[in-house]
Amino acid sequence: MRILKSVSVAVLATATLASCSSLKNMAVPAMDTSVALKSAKTVELSDKDFNHWAHRDLVSDTVPGMSLAKAYKFIEGKESTQVIVGVIDSGIDIEHEDLKNVLWTNPKEIAGNNIDDDKNGYVDDVYGWNFLGGDSVDAPEQLEITRLYAKAKKRFEGKTLETVSADEKADFEMFKKYEKGYEASSKRFFGTMTRLKQIEENYTAVKKFLGKDKIELKDLQAVKTGDKKLQAQIGDVLSMFNRGLTEDAFNEYYDSQKKNKNYSLDFDGRAIVGDNPNDINDVVYGNGNVIGSKDVESHGTHVSGIILAERGNGIGLDGVANNAVLMSVRAVPDGDERDKDVALAIRYAVDNGAKVINMSFGKSWSPNPEWVFDAFKYAEKHDVLLVHAAGNDHKDIDVKENWPNDTNDKINELCDNVLTIGAMSSSYNENIPATFSNYGARNVDIFAPGVQIYSTVPKNEYARYNGTSMASPEAAGVATLIRSYYPELSASQVKHIIMNSGTEIDMDVLLPGGDGKKVKFSSLSVSGKVVNAYNALVLADKMVNGK
């Protein structure tokens, strides 16, 4: 991959530290990263080396990574404390070759005896807990807007503002808002399903004409007919083949879309769970199956590897953190997560010792945000840092809804232990913000690598994924390093160390989703920076050991 041949880069300079008597309450100083170098080494990365671009250094490699090798040199020989990292996600392949040796295990639970040995309400929670419940490994679900609209539709369908009672008018107006949101969200999906059904009908018609159960490209090319409709159907099928979509591939994709329950108004994704999703006090549900299906778990497995893939084993990749273990908490279905599951997943991870929790998920509607707010505050009370992906809708979340978050008015934070992460690319130019990344001068804290990120996927495989879902664990890995080598620092301090020590990107960049509009990179987040592991550890060290 071609890398920029010269850069002007912000690097670490001297940080002025305020003295104080209490480390826990110590204010985190801002780090001066404004010193620009006049030259930088030019590096052409091979495809294999590009797999680890997020760990590279902007000065030595001309790649705007997190300076991880430099960070490890800084902490070489220092003592560390093992950190438990909770990953709330879709499921994780805990048998993966690069993860199996870094798993948290519940020391008070005896595996497989079907007894709640530690009396915490969760039977056989050896590696974590599955809040999606049931014996099935799959977890189809509706989107939140579908759930909201379906519930309101039963109450208000066929009614108008004029026919509802005065007491119902506010709820009716919300129903109309849900209806509009559902229609806007589902339009593309139902359009796609209509098109897929049309293609299926075309395949059927052409097979009937040919008298064959299977169609080959040569059959289509040899057809001669004066039937205009059949000609159009053959042309449609032929275009599928020319794009590499065989009948088998088409059927596989169509079948997968038929199983999609995101917009199904009648689907009950909670039937296999057995709880009341509207009761936050109904907490005894789920099971210890933290893996899930091979398809759904790929997201959680990829996220986990970014933070925790075993370092130094000579296979796959090295995760960001070295002295840490993985607690798997399954709460993200193939649809929108439930507020209740998110809240209880956070509390579970906190109660079982996690000091950093990664949350690579999100949605645009939240019927019970107060449950999640309470869980955030519970984590803050127990000194736990929550790292959350900003989302992939290339929108300004200072204006648009994005849940969960740590504010109910988009201005005032309810707690100081949540770090929200935008995604950046490997390009040190106007393309550095990922085209899909959400942003916000008040509600995104900092950016981290999130494009073409190489990590673990199920069945001992590896792949590159894009998303703020990948950027969040990069930052969570750095937070884990800080908490491991400087355990004296609070969750709030670690949050602000990461923000204050990031590398400044002083340039105009393309606004995600802005159709070519350019803005200052510094306007896209609170800090205006990108995560830098080396700078963060230096600042943490100065806070703990400096004057």
Residue positions counted in the chain: 547
Give me the residues paired with residue 10 across strands.
Answer: 36
Helix H or strand E encompassing 261: none
Q: Which of 469, 484, 490, 501 is catalytic?
A: 469
CA-CA distance, 422 to 525, in Å (whole number)?
8
Question: Active-site residue 89, yes or no?
Answer: yes
Pairing of strands 385-389, 418-424: parallel
Nearest CA among 61, 7, 6 for reference residue 506: 7
135: Cα within 13 Å, side-chain hemisphere: 0
- The catalytically annotated residue of 61, 89, 98, 318 is 89
| Burial (0-12, 13-18, 19+ Cβ within 10 Å), 414 | middle
Q: How many CB atoms lie within 10 A of CB 158?
A: 6
> Does residue 443 come out as left (phi exceeding 0), alpha (psi in the -120 to 50 range) or beta?
alpha
| 469 included as an active-site residue | yes
State the CB neighbour count (10 A cutoff) for residue 47: 7
Nearest to 381 by CA among 486, 482, 491, 477: 491
Q: Which residue in 61, 90, 298, 299 is the catalytic one?
A: 299
- Is residue 374 annotated as a catalytic residue, yes or no? no
How far, in Å, CA of 247 to CA of 200, rounded? 9
Catalytic residues: 89, 299, 469
